[in-house]
Amino acid sequence: MAASALPKFSDLYELKEELGSVTGGELFEDIVAREFYSEADASNCMQQIIESVNYCHQNNIVHRDLKPENLLLASKSKGAAVKLADFGLAIEVQNDQPQWFGFAGTPGYLSPEVLRKEPYGKAVDIWACGVILYILLVGYPPFWDEDQNRLYSQIKSGAFDYPSPEWDTVTPEAKNLINAMLTVCPSRRITAAEALKHPWICQRERVASMVHRQETVECLKKFNARRKLKTVLACLVKAIFEVAYASVACSLPTY
């Protein structure tokens, strides 16, 4: 959500009603419908995301489930504000002291420290932002494998790169910010406040490229289609499981 509209942690139970005014749909779906999308546009999107994350962190809130599905637009108007959604896994932390809060999040966006079941804190949101930024620039994620164990191994080792030719047209400053966000050691990872001061964010007009990224848009369309299919399949599996469980429960004798 926009920083000015984000409720305090004690008011998060009202978030569902607050989100009722969000009518613009998903950010990633909006991007693929645009006639023009550049690195500078990606910078603008990321600035809004980080501003909201920074507001959360200033209030000792960790979202824990940042991903494309939870990046919504306030309205269908051009240039509508990007808002964070779904605080169902959000936690309140004590300052910057890492703790083990349990395993939570979405596989491709989980940080190395969570996968290692180590104490964690605000830095997990920054890792997820790094994954999102990577996708915003080329349309596919930095870590990917159909096998979840191999995917987690990639993440824990921070094994990603910038393949040619799609990354050849991305500025060094953008890659520098991604590197800072996807730093395996959480204590060395850039913070939200620091990210807002990064040249690629605060000096966008001078640093970020204004060239239309058609290849990114095409890749994003495929990426959106895959994640939508995964969501449908997950819902189907859940429904089948619930029906099966209900059938078994009904067949058990009562005493």
Q: Exactly one of 65, 145, 147, 168 is catalytic; which is it?
A: 65
Peptide bond into 165 cis (omega under 30): yes
Round to whole Å and give the CA distance between 235 and 248.
Answer: 20
DSSP for 5-35, please give it.
Answer: GPPPGGGGGGHHHHGGG--S-BHHHHHHH-S
| CB of 10 closer than 8 Å to CB of 195 | no
Strands 61-62 and 71-73: unpaired
To the query of whether residue 96 is one of the catalytic residues in this protein, the response is no
Element (H, E) at 33: helix 27-33
Cα–Cα distance between 249 and 57 in angstroms, integer?
Answer: 44
**Contact between 73 and 82 (Cβ < 8 Å):** yes
Question: Where in the sequence numbering do the catalytic residues fall?
Answer: 65
